[in-house]
């Protein structure tokens, strides 16, 4: 298990949108509380300044479970666009909240609803809206 949390970058627009979502959720929502902590510790950057390998909202990402080597291709989305079977993972899913702001090679240990802790590693960011010039997603 990681002793220290990896540094994360979050775009100003993602921060503002996620902050608005979190303000409307119950304070006892466990994932929302964890996401709030991530946002509070993040370095906030302009969308035009975020490096192209940072996981931002609507990024397509390859993840790996370091214990099993199992890989998943997902797109990190806002709750209204979530579609687990379609690979669209909500930011309010436990693993979704863990991904925001990470870069390839970084890992994070994240508590799951069943009490287990899961380690997640970002393998690659296949597509990022900011790098593609799509700042309105």
**Domains of the chain, first to last:** 9-127 (3.10.50.30)
- Residue pair 119/102 in contact (Cβ under 8 Å)? The answer is no
Q: Which residues pair with 122 in a beta bridge?
A: 63
pLDDT at 2: 47
pLDDT at 55: 98
137 Cβ contact partners less than 8 Å away, ≥ 6 residues apart: 57, 58, 129
pLDDT at 3: 56
The first and second tokens of residue 84, run together, are 């687990």
Extended strands (E) in the chain: 9-11, 43-45, 60-64, 71-77, 88-90, 107-111, 117-127
Q: What is the mean pLDDT of residues 47-74?
A: 96
Which pTM value belongs to this model? 0.92
State the DSSP string of 84-102. GGGTEEETTSHHHHHHTT-
pLDDT in tens, 1-13: 445 788 999 999 9
Place 114 in a pLDDT band, splitting at 50, 70 and 90. Answer: confident
H or E segment and range at residue 23? helix 12-23
pLDDT, greater one: 34 or 77: 77
């Amino acid at each position: 298990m990681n002793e220290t949390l990896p540094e994360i970058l979050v775009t100003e627009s993602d921060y503002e949108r996620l902050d608005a979502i979190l303000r409307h959720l119950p304070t006892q929502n466990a994932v929302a509380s964890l996401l709030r902590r991530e946002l509070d510790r993040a370095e906030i950057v302009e969308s035009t300044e975020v490096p192209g390998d940072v996981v931002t909202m609507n990024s397509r990402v390859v993840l790996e479970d370091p214990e099993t080597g199992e890989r998943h291709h997902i797109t990190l989305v806002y709750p209204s666009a979530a579609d687990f079977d379609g690979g669209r993972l909500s930011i309010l899913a436990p693993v979704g909240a863990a991904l925001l702001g990470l870069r390839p090679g970084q890992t994070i240990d994240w508590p799951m609803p069943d009490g287990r802790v899961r380690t997640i590693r970002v393998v690659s960011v296949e597509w990022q809206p900011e790098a593609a010039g799509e700042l309105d997603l």
